[in-house]
Amino acid sequence: MVSREENETMTRVGPGTPAGTLLRRYWHPICPAQELSADKPKKRIRLLGENLVLFRDGGGRLGLLPEQCPHRSASLYYGFVEEDGIRCPYHGWKFAADGECLEQPFEPNNPALKKRACQRAYPVQQLGGLFWAYLGPDPVPLLPRWSPLVSLEGTRRITILPVLECNWLQIMENSVDTTHTYYLHGHMMTMLGMGEKAAYYYRPIQNYEFEVVKEDVWTGVRKVRIYGGDQGERELGHPVIFPCILMSPQRQYLMMHFRVPVDDTHTYIVRYEFLPGEKSDAGNAENPPVEYVKPFKNEDGEFHLQTFGSQDGMAWETQGAITDRSRELLGNSDRGIALYRRMLKEQIAAVQEGKEPAGLIRDPAKNQEIKVQVSSGQAKMAREMADNYGDT
């Protein structure tokens, strides 16, 4: 049983919170790279409860700064992007991508004031067609080079989901919830007359297993379903990469689901879809196509439930903005959730004790291309069913 206090500890993401401090130690994707253009080289970003502005200056440097100007708090998002920085729209103070205050028009020469106006800029990198941000302390760990982001042995595309109106932990708990797929997807699709889209999940689940994985460059929980019936299968497993990534097969694709805590009650999700096979060129790797999924709710404000995304979104949001875990009744099938929570609490404690949390990468030799094995049964079924699976 989770106490209210523990629930707060595990879920809140703002600066100084226990989980927020832990989550700041990892890189998070913040948007597709194509969202910054020559016409509009700036974007508002809300991440881990902080309001930020992302911009690319005329010299091509990326900056990620607090949105509010240190002078009198107007939004830098409405500022002017110049060759060497962004200029506040209110009184024109200018900041470089690294946060240095470059100019304070109308101020007499005042080096102390200029120094005090320097901001902390967060590191940003581009990889696999996405911008990534790191909000933690130095030394900055390496941005993980997951195989789907960098491999040329296949093609990729990016799908952005509507922002979910719930806490990030509900979504990660769903990733270690092996049995939800039977009713929420398999049965739901069948009842809606679209059973062929969820045939993979509508097989009898005979058993399920969970395993804590501790690899060199990632740690997490692997879940395995053992299906019975005519098309029995023992899955290789779908790993949750701690803290915020699910890797899973989806039709013939290898999918990475990046769950990004926007704040305590909103979560941004990037679905990264890699299709192994046909070789891709650097263009596909650097600038993959991006699709934006339509809202999960219909005009009446109800979840339409026509896609896996809407079905999952319904389950996650209806648990409550931050679900009250002191009320829940866990059973045997929730073992994965208990494992994930234990890992989360251990890692929060590690950081509080001044240790490095699990799964950070510091050795470039181990970060050329990180491959993670997942089940292939679904790709096989999708091929057999002539790609009958709908968009999730």
| Cβ-contact 19, 43 below 8 angstroms | no
- State the binding partner of 4 from Fe ion, ligand FES, none, CB within 5 to 8 A by kind: none
Asked if 93 interacts with ligand FES (CB under 6 A), we say: yes
Q: Which of 307, 312, 316, 344 binds Fe ion (CB under 5 A)?
A: 312
Rank residues 104 and 319 by Cβ distance to ligand FES and give the closer one.
104
Q: Identify which range of 2-10, 268-276, 311-319, 365-373 contacts Fe ion by CB under 5 A.
A: 311-319
| CA–CA dist 237, 203 (Å, integer) | 16
Rank residues 73 and 373 by Cβ distance to ligand FES and give the closer one.
73
Q: Output the CA–CA distances (angstroms, integers) from residue 371 to 5, 217, 235, 254, 392, in the order listed.
A: 37, 10, 18, 11, 24
Q: Identify which range of 58-66, 68-76, 263-271, 310-318 contacts ligand FES by CB under 6 A.
A: 68-76
Rank residues 24 and 185 by Cβ distance to Fe ion and give the closer one.
185
Of 153-212, which residues contact ligand FES (CB under 6 A)? none
Q: Which of 13, 53, 65, 69 binds ligand FES (CB under 6 A)?
A: 69
359: nearest Cα among 184, 189, 136, 123: 136
Q: Identify which range of 86-94, 168-176, 310-318, 381-389 contacts ligand FES by CB under 6 A.
A: 86-94
Burial of 51 (0-12, 13-18, 19+ CB in 10 A): middle
Rank residues 97 and 221 by Cβ distance to ligand FES and give the closer one.
97
Pairing between strand 238-241 and 233-234? unpaired
Q: Which of 14, 44, 74, 180 binds ligand FES (CB under 6 A)?
A: 74
88: nearest Cα among 53, 122, 112: 53
Q: Which of 40, 72, 279, 294 binds ligand FES (CB under 6 A)?
A: 72
Structure tokens at 178: 């092996």
Q: How far is the CB of 99 from ligand FES (least distance, A)?
A: 14
| Cβ-contact 197, 389 below 8 angstroms | yes
Q: How far is the CB of 392 from Fe ion (least distance, A)?
A: 8
In terms of phi and psi (left: phi > 0; alpha: psi -120 to 50; beta: otherwise), the region of 73 is left
| Cβ-contact 201, 181 below 8 angstroms | yes
Chain residues that interact with Fe ion, rule: CB under 5 A: 312
Chain residues that interact with ligand FES, rule: CB under 6 A: 69, 71-72, 74, 88, 90-93
